[in-house]
Structure 1
Amino acid sequence: MKTNYLLTGVIVIAIMLGSCTKEDTYVEPDLNAVYATSIVNKFPNLSQGTTVNIDLGINEFSYYDNLFKVVEPSECGTTAFDEAIDETISENLDQLGAQFYSIYSDINFYMSLVDTSPQYFGVDGIYTNLMKKRVKDQERFWDMPNEVAVKGQHNANFKNEDLLRETLPFLYGPTADIDALIEEIYVINEESTFLIENPFVSFDGFAINIDNFFGKGQGDIIVISDGIVSVMTKTGIDANIIWTGILAHEWGHQIQFNNNWSYPVEDGNVPESTRSTELEADFFAAYYMTHKRGATYNWKRVEEFFDLFFNIGDCSFESDGHHGTPIQRMDAAHRGFELAQSAQKKGHILSPEAVHEIFIAQLPEIVE
């Protein structure tokens, strides 16, 4: 379902979420799309530290591990978001952080799905009211009342014994010694200067349909972490726009789940298919964010967010999680903005189907 790649002593983040049918389980490829972000050269003594002899290894999850076809390479390069991530990791990475980051990320991913407590957003819930408003806005704008559960992801999850106790059996099996696992996690929490302290430990942003996988009536879920927003705000971007933009992008994926749309891609070309869905989510997000009856942001304010986050893109043309290049993603977002502007005089909101048809018609120009 989700795979994080970790090399001992080297953090190489390549969070890849596989996809199945909506009737089974679907996870959209992770929004941050950070590939091969390595800081080993900044920490030459990292591999010389003493490792903790604790086995928190968990089973591999199913995901696409076969490369079907590649996307034809085009102009591409790294962006400021990569630098912000490197800077964040560099603040306090230690040996335990390198050793256990991947496992903590997996555990936090599942805690986000299992948690049914009242949700809060941002450290200490400072953005909870904003998110409640934005969720209501999305429901009204796309006519999707009470369809999507939006959840926060927090480093504080690793201090929540009840949530750990509820989550760990899904990862380690019903016969696992949960008390021992929790005790081990608490030891690591205490000893590490990185785990549960660095924003990168909660760095998910994704949409998923799990169709009652956890047996609690949950289906469509969006998860947004504190960490992604925290790192982006360091660059001076308005936090309100960041929360709004990530939610709008992920909501676009939920619209896709509902409609089971097909895309004009060659059969079996997973990178090309993923790129199409990601670019469309950017298109949907910009349409909502700049629409007169949506979030009502003007393009100048929104463009900074797109330039940092949606423009992150990636150059992994051979990856089945390819999101599109920075240039393509910015182009898709700007076209969504232009579509919203064309309807502003009347304030008319196009149906998701109509927005989709317009995007499909423009897709060849975006990718070329």
Structure 2
Amino acid sequence: MKKTLSMAASLAIATTCALGMSFPAHAADATGITTATARSLQSSVDTSQMAPQTQAIVDKIQAELPADWESRLRATRAKYGLNESSWSEIRDSVINPGDYQCRQTELTTYANSLLKGVHPGVLGNLQFYGGFDWAAFDALISGTESKSNTFGVNGEYTQKLTAEMKNLKRFWDIDSAGIQLVSMHGTDVLSSPERLAHVLSVMYGNPIDEAPREWAIGLAKTFIELIDSEPVLQGGANPIFTFNAFAYSEKGDPEPLGISDRIVMGDGVLQGMAAVGLGGVASKGILGHEFGHHVQFQKDLFESDLTGPEATRRTELMADAFGTYYLTHARGESLNATRLLKSEKSFYQVGDCSFTSSGHHGTPNQRLASSSWAAGVANDASNQGHILPSLKFDELFEAELPDLVKPDAG
């Protein structure tokens, strides 16, 4: 099974909120929407006020798509692990929302603001056809680590993240030489017909190393027309297109695709953290969290007796803990008290209230608690120069987990 772990769960909610629609949590997949929900979305989108030229673009897209595009896309999601964060209702492990404090964070408020003023018909069609996945999928199938890579819209996080990646590889006791750090820029994909055509071609069933078919190039140009019809989308530079960071590994997969282990960092999520005042500290926290997933991949830490939302919550809170332990350890980033508070808050910002979702990452309070606990483990150690082996750290985390997720309402 492909392993793709992301921080996109709250963004799926943000997108549907921006669309002015409400979907049940279990109806969404890794991009926030399943085929069944997509059909519902398509039929519910109000295009009555859409400009005639925009409606013509939408009609052209429908005409240019392969007749069996939905089945092709479903197969691709399974092949590349894009359904790994599928939301499903597992009644036996559903957490009771009434027992928990959960509220919208500054980050989700910011995300909601990104699409303000865009016609719901445009957003609905982009979501329907997987448009908010394109940049991430490009980074997955075509991205590679390179000295020429930049991180952040203006490259402002490049030095910070590349240096931290080297430190993370030295810090944790795993074979990390092959883990690549890959950037994700929206305009690189969404303003280039050739590059978007490659994404569409692979998403609709063609091999990675095959040149895009002619229909894919025409379709890419039409999708770019749709994006360019809305100034708010900024020709693909709107942060919503790259509002993600994820870890990917094919370890243990019986049918590997040959994609290297990687961490993908999107411009949008870095912009979002900066917008709520976290900036550089949050970028370190995100990278530390995603590297924590690679520790889990290599040490087989995904297995547990938990299922559904509780299982995913465990792995996400554990990755928070791995990341914060590194950030605060004397031989890691050794953040001071002020920066520590901010790193904890960065995980708080990406908490979600999707209690019935198999992609549930933990509430904001739970993520803050996990981060705070890990900082305490690092700061209270009698030997500040000793780095706990990852399996020993996991043992401590497992013992603490029940307390981290206990009901906190009231």
TM class by shorter-chain length?
0.7 to 0.9
Deviations 1:37-80 (A, max 9, x none): 313559x9976224322135652334346423333323122222
Identity %, equivalent residues: 28
Match of 2:95 in 1: 72
CA distance in 2, matches of 1:168, 1:214: 21
Instruction: Identify, as 1 or 2, the structure richer in helix.
Output: 2
Distance 2:142 2:196 in 1: 10
Q: Which residue of 2 aligns with 1:27?
A: 4
Superposed, which structure 2 residues align to 1:165-180 within 5 Å?
Answer: 165-174=197-206, 177-180=215-218
Measured after TM superposition, the shift of residue 142 of structure 1 is 0.8
List gaps (5 residues or longer) in structure 1: 1-23
**Structure 2, unaligned stretches of length 5 or more?**
22-44, 207-212
Matched, 1:235 2:276: yes
Distance, in Å, in 2 between the alignment partners of 1:309 and 1:47 is 40
Partner of 1:260: 300
Over the aligned positions, Cα root-mean-square deviation in angstroms equals 2.8
Aligned residues: 340
- Residue 342 (structure 2) pairs with residue 304 (structure 1): yes
Query: Which shifted more, 135-144 or 153-162?
Result: 153-162
1:77-116 deviation digits (Å, cap 9, x = unpaired): 2222221112222265664234214522222221011224
- Higher alpha-carbon deviation: 254-263 or 240-249: 254-263
* Aligned ranges 1:1-368 → 2 under 5 Å: 24-31=1-8, 33-34=10-11, 36-37=13-14, 38-40=17-19, 48-50=49-51, 51=55, 52-53=58-59, 54-55=61-62, 58=70, 59-60=73-74, 61-62=77-78, 63=83, 64=86, 66-68=88-90, 69-73=92-96, 74-78=99-103, 79-90=105-116, 95-101=121-127, 103-117=130-144, 118=146, 119-143=149-173, 144-156=175-187, 157-174=189-206, 177-195=215-233, 196-210=236-250, 215=257, 217-237=258-278, 239-261=279-301, 264-266=304-306, 269-343=307-381, 345-368=383-406
SS of corresponding position for 1:295: coil
Q: Residues of 2 paired with 1:151 and 1:39: CA distance?
A: 28
Q: Is the 8 A contact 1:121 1:128 kept in 2?
A: yes
Normalising by the residue count of structure 2, what TM-score does the alignment of the two structures yield? 0.75
SS class of match (2:93): coil
CA distance in 2, matches of 1:183, 1:189: 10
**Runs of at least 4 residues off by over 4 Å:** 44-47, 91-95, 211-215
1:240 CA displacement? 1.6
1:214/1:155 CA distance change after superposition, 3 Å:
farther
Per-residue deviation, 1:203:
1.1
8 Å CA contact 1:310–1:330 kept in 2: the answer is: yes
Q: 1:165 to 1:315 in 2, by over 3 A?
A: closer
Q: Could you say if the C-alpha distance between residues 154 and 332 of structure 1 is closer, same or farther in structure 2, counting changes exceeding 3 Å? A: same
Q: Measure how far apart 1:27 and its partner are.
A: 1.6
Pair 1:192–1:91, CA change in 2 (3 A):
closer
More displaced 10-residue stretch of structure 1: 203-212 or 251-260? 203-212
